[in-house]
Structure 1
Amino acid sequence: MTTLITNGTVVSASGAVDMDVLVDGEQIAALLQPGATGLGTDLASSAERVIDARGKYVVPGGVDAHTHMELPFGGTAASDTFETGTRAAAWGGTTTIIDFAVQRAGERVFDGLEAWHRKADGNCAIDYAFHMIIGGVDDDSLTAMDRLVSQEGISSVKLFMAYPGVFLSEDGQILRAMQKAAENGSMIMMHAENGTAIDVLIAQSLARGNVDPLYHGLTRPVALEEEATHRAIKLAEVAGCPLYIVHMSAREAVERVMEARDRGGNVFGETCPQYLYLSLEDHLGAPGFEGAKYVCSTPLRSKHEHHQADLWRFLRTNDLQVVSTDHCPFCFKEQKELGVGDFSKIPNGIGGVEHRMDLLYQGVVDGEISLERWVEV
């Protein structure tokens, strides 16, 4: 089926131009001057469907490079399936997600990948791909990294400096995985928080009776995101591999990425809409147990420290390169409520896949980023 989108303003990372768009099936076949007949026909009369986009922007479908559909976490699982989550994405203008298949310590990498293929196969309303979480770095998983690249089309592996006993990799394991990535041309994605130190702060907070959702943020301080980010960058420098830091929320952590990039490092930073708009005081610190709705990791940061404004600035200057969602929603009833009386038991995650493009466009309206940058990130 051919579709002609006419009279719209096509926006790309390089500019906004009045153009017509010819779509053949699911592929863009041509970008044309309005009313052009260079293809030897009057497309407006020959196309099977014509959409008049007068007064509207025509933009590429969004790519959300960080989602967690159906992720088991904290004794439950993310409430969006691949079916419901990708439908929500489509409503919000996102046409591709990159989700995370999961391997835990003691499991085989390809068993985890096969399990995620079964979850997604035939259930997605949009295109999807996978990164691979490796929670147990050993000889077998390192060998599997080569096959992920050469046979499975998966070129990004996520490691964790957080969640001891669940996903955390020690520095030696991280270095070995990074060396393997340097060999096979893949990229390491990193959850950069010092999880061992965070667990000490959590235990101390609970012992003092500080159990409300606010303390989820207070026990994951900026310094421990910054320290882990710096450590990951240095390990990547030793190994010589590309590094992508996920869901960055703190100015000081992004400054470490900025410095590495200024030195020529192959380092990238991602943030999420929740860190651009929400705060420790107004959301995690909401009355009663309401703050549980906003528990995610890295946590929301203090509005008094101006992290939100600085993240917008880093997007303008390309010191942050990507805005994804880390979409991992949990229902308040029966899921977030698992942490009543103990914030450490609140499942970590916020939804956002349907609203990412709208929320970022608000940044255009507010003058935070340009129209072109909105499309780019």
Structure 2
Amino acid sequence: MTTTLISGGTVVSATGRTEADVLVDGERIVALLEPGSRLLGTDVSAGVDRVIDATGKYVIPGGIDAHTHMQLPFGGTEASDTFETGTRAAAHGGTTSIIDFAVQRYGERVQDGLAAWHEKAAGNCAIDYGFHQIIGGVDADSLAAMRALPDEGITSFKLFMAYPGVFYSDDAQILKAMQVSRDTGMLTMMHAENGPAIDVLAEQLAEAGKTDPYYHGIARAWEMEEEATHRAIMLAKLTGAPLYVVHVSAKQAVEQLAWARDKGQNVYGETCPQYLYLSLEEQLGASSDEWGAFEGAKWVCSTPLRSREERHQDAMWQALRTNDLQMVSTDHCPFCMKDQKELGLGDFRKIPNGIGSVEHRMDLMYQGVVTGEITLERWVELTSTTPARMFGLYGRKGVIQPGADADVVVYDPNGHTSIGVGKTHHMNMDHSAWEGYEIDGHVDTVLSRGKVIVDGDQYLGAKGDGRFLKRGLSQYLI
């Protein structure tokens, strides 16, 4: 087995930082050593196969993006990143594990949906991967099948209060699914928006001739997110189920989560980079010679971007500091403008919802360290350690310690990253939602289970490097 010494760097964890060398043997971390340590009277570096000089750089656990959608069929098309292209892009950005979503729709079997996603991912991923299970049709058969998912390493499932006719579950179905969550310890993940009411608002806007992409966010008003978040919290309280609310974008929804947590309820939430940096106003102002006002489709996602004037973005950063939100994922669900987003030309309701960010999450969150929004330790906690704990991977992932997988990123705080098509962009997209963003840092080296898969801007990994992660129960359960 190959041995690697990462020397001279500052190892950063969720609880602190220390000057240490990291010794890797094969796929695992075997020791953290004082810089320049000697074993049996010999310089450690003399007895290893490879030395990575991390002087002046941070050594952090590989990022875990716990919310991605590779190859997701949606809106008459399919997310443009395959498991191969999406995980390769993730690796370039310092993410070494993803948790994607297997899909079961109404009338389909849960087992068949999971099998289909295994087939899509197996042998194609550049990094390790796991699955949550989308339950799009809650009935007696799916409820029974859900109880067997933990044996498959699937310990969380997602329900939708939005998208009637696609994934939507009503309150009775949610209650029944949450009862399974309570009984099994599986984590209920919730897309919390009032879908039926949103559809009414969207129809009224379209009838009034307000069809540009901007009106996607107007139809999905923050009241719809706040109301659904509160309703999900109440159903979770009634059933005793643990609840994890995905892609929180409205400050009022955060207030609902904080209220429930202050009362001791087992409730958690994530946000995404787009809700920290982007706004509805920027979407309105978007215009190009090619697309005109429709350029705003680049930023159509659900939940939608929120108004900067109402300071939702500031509230998201604050919630990350106060732990009212526990982690940052991407909801990576990319669509090209050509042939995909343009399906909604003339009707925002037909624009496939999604933004591509899996490559940029670690950098964008590090920029929050640079600007003083979060600490260095909180950066690691939000992007790696908490995802590992939340979704049953901690100890193996999310930490640099003996026995853990050697998923390690060497990050240069003195480097620079320019985001955009033709710059730092390896996702399978014809545009970037982050075009023109500049990051005061750079991913220098990425190891996945001890193998160097990114060195500078050079990709050294291969299709099939990634393995399926069977997850345990959330380590946040109380």
Same fold (TM over 0.5): yes
Q: Which digits, 9 at most, give the CA deviation of each residue in 1:266-300, with x for residues without a partner?
A: 10110000000000011255231110000000000
- Correspondence list, 1:246-257, <5 A: 246-257=246-257
How far apart are the structure 2 equivalents of 1:40 and 1:78?
55
Partner of 1:32: 33
Partner of 1:213: 213
Pair 1:330-2:335 in alignment: yes
Pair 1:64-2:65 in alignment: yes
Helix, strand or coil for the counterpart of 1:21? strand
Q: What is the aligned counterpart of 1:339 among 324, 344, 362?
A: 344
Q: Residues 265 and 96 (structure 1 numbering): CA distance in 2 closer, same or farther, change over 3 Å? A: same
- Correspondence list, 1:216-295, <5 A: 216-287=216-287, 288-295=293-300
**Structure 1 unpaired stretches of 5+:** none
Pair 1:312-2:342 in alignment: no
Q: Percent identity?
A: 71
Partner of 2:407: none
Q: Which digits, 9 at most, give the CA deviation of each residue in 1:214-267, with x for residues without a partner?
A: 000000000000000000000000010110000000000011001111111110
Amino acid at match of 1:304: E
> 1:41 offset after TM fit, Å?
4.8
Helix, strand or coil for the counterpart of 1:216? helix
How far apart are the structure 1 equivalents of 2:26 and 2:321?
35
The normalised TM-score by structure 2 is 0.78
Q: Which digits, 9 at most, give the CA deviation of each residue in 1:79-130, with x for residues without a partner?
A: 0000000000000000000000000000000100000001000000000000
Helix, strand or coil for the counterpart of 2:158? strand
Amino acid at match of 2:181: A
Q: Residues 132 and 49 (structure 1 numbering): CA distance in 2 closer, same or farther, change over 3 Å? A: same
Helix, strand or coil for the counterpart of 2:365? helix
Q: Which digits, 9 at most, give the CA deviation of each residue in 1:18-39, with x for residues without a partner?
A: 0000111221111111122357
CA contact (8 A) 1:214 1:285 kept: no
**RMSD in angstroms over aligned alpha carbons?**
0.9
Helix, strand or coil for the counterpart of 1:137? coil
Specify which structure has the higher proportion of helix.
1
How far apart are the structure 1 equivalents of 2:297 and 2:268?
30
How far apart are the structure 1 equivalents of 2:93 and 2:42?
34
Helix, strand or coil for the counterpart of 2:61? coil
Partner of 2:76: 75
How far apart are the structure 2 equivalents of 1:78 and 1:174?
26
Helix, strand or coil for the counterpart of 2:325? coil
Instruction: Between the two structures, name the one with larger relative contact order (CA 8 Å, sep ≥ 6).
Output: 2
Partner of 1:361: 366
Amino acid at match of 2:235: L
How far apart are the structure 2 equivalents of 1:162 and 1:284?
24
Q: Residues 269 and 108 (structure 1 numbering): CA distance in 2 closer, same or farther, change over 3 Å? A: same
Q: Residues 175 and 285 (structure 1 numbering): CA distance in 2 closer, same or farther, change over 3 Å? A: farther
**Structure 2 unpaired stretches of 5+:** 288-292, 383-478
Amino acid at match of 1:343: F
Helix, strand or coil for the counterpart of 1:248? coil
Partner of 2:378: 373
